A = this chain, B = another copy of it.
Amino acid sequence: MARWEPGAYDRLREAALTLFDEQGFEQTTVAQIAERAGLNRRTFFHHFADKREVVFAGQEASEELIAAEIAAQPEALDPLHAAVAGLQRVAETTYERYRAGSVLLGRVIAASPELQERELVKRAGLAGRIAGALGERGTDERAAAVAGWTAAAVFFVARNRWNQPGNERTLAELMGETLQTFLDATLHRAGVPLRSVSEA
Chain A residues proximal to chain B, CB less than 8 Å: 76-81, 84-85, 88-89, 92, 117, 120-121, 123-124, 127, 139-140, 142-150, 152-154, 157, 161, 170, 172-173, 176, 178-187, 189, 192, 194-197, 200
Given known A123-B124, A153-B149, contact A197–B182 (CB-CB < 8 A): no
Inter-chain contacts of A79 with B (CB < 8 A):
185-186
* Chain B nearest CB, measured from A44 CB (Å): 24
A155: nearest residue on chain B (CB-CB)? B146
* Chain B nearest CB, measured from A20 CB (Å): 21
* Chain B nearest CB, measured from A96 CB (Å): 11
**Beyond known contacts A79-B186, A176-B194: 18 more, CB 8 A cutoff:** A78-B187, A81-B194, A81-B195, A89-B200, A92-B197, A120-B123, A120-B124, A123-B124, A142-B178, A146-B157, A146-B178, A147-B186, A150-B153, A170-B197, A172-B197, A172-B200, A176-B195, A183-B187
Inter-chain contacts of A77 with B (CB < 8 A):
192, 195
* Chain B nearest CB, measured from A126 CB (Å): 12
Inter-chain contacts of A150 with B (CB < 8 A):
146, 149-150, 153, 182
Interface of chain A, main secondary structure? helix
A145 to B144, CA, bound (A): 19
